Amino acid sequence: MPSATATAARPRRADALRNRERVIEAATEVFAAKGMDAGIPEIAAVAGVGKATVYRSFASKEHLVAAVAVQRLAWITGRVTQALVQDDAGRAFEDVLVEIAERQAEDGAIAASLASEIHLPELEAARATTHAAFEALIDRGRAEGALRADATAADVRVLFAGVSQVLRAEGERDPVTWRRYGRLVADALRA
């Protein structure tokens, strides 16, 4: 009889991997529309699977939230990394913030990815990578004199979390409004 360790290390079956991907896609859709408070039953229904299938793929809702948040953070990190090669760091910084804000109009999971109280290792690693990318862009902006000397990636996280929380609570979905607040956050950190 195989040990528990051997069983846990066994590769997932193809159908289990497909179900996991379906659950992540469904969670992405549901979280985007309703935020991270959406329930597992709704996610399972959208995925076309039972709740038990969700829990076979993810030990808890926190693990599912983390999986979606890691994807969102990877997108943010990629976008910030692209901005690092632009000529004008101040303009690149604003463009990134406006783009992230605009995406938040449709996607309630973005802000939650940055502000979530979940502290799983994979999510902490993704947050650290995103934070480092923002710090690199902000460092460039400070060096060029475009951003405040005391601006930090933590400032971006706090300001965005506050804006997002209020706009989400008000049910604001207009990308124009979200872009405006993205610009205001960028302006707050300008030199």
Cβ contact 108:35 at 8 Å: yes
135 close to 77: Cβ distance less than 8 angstroms: no
Domains of the chain listed by start with CATH number: 1-58 (1.10.10.60), 62-191 (1.10.357.10)
Question: Per-residue pLDDT for 176 more than 80?
Answer: yes
Task: Give me the half-sphere count of Cα atoms (radius 13 Å) on the Cβ side of residue 77.
Answer: 17
- The token pair that represents 184 in the structure block: 């205001």
pLDDT at 114 > cutoff 80: no
Residues 6+ apart with CB under 8 A from 157: 114, 115, 131
pTM here?
0.84
How much is the pLDDT for 40? 95
Residues 134-163 have pLDDT tens digits of: 999 999 999 999 999 999 999 998 998 889
Please give the average per-residue pLDDT across 170-189, as a whole number.
95
- pLDDT at residue 3 is higher than 50: no
100 and 160 in contact (C-beta within 8 Å)?
yes
Q: Calculate mean pLDDT across residues 84-96.
A: 96
Average pLDDT over residues 15-42: 89
Residue 190: beta bridge partners?
A: 147
Average pLDDT over residues 84-111: 91
Q: What are phi and psi of 78, to 5 degrees?
A: -60, -40
d(CA 58, CA 55): 5
pLDDT at 113 exceeding the cut of 90: no
DSSP string, 40-106: HHHHHHHHTS-HHHHHHH-SSHHHHHHHHHHHHHHHHHHHHHHHTTSS-HHHHHHHHHHHHHHHHHH
Give the residue among 107, 169, 74, 55 at the shortest CA–CA distance from 43. 55
pLDDT tens sequence across 31-69: 888 877 889 999 999 999 999 999 999 999 989 999 998
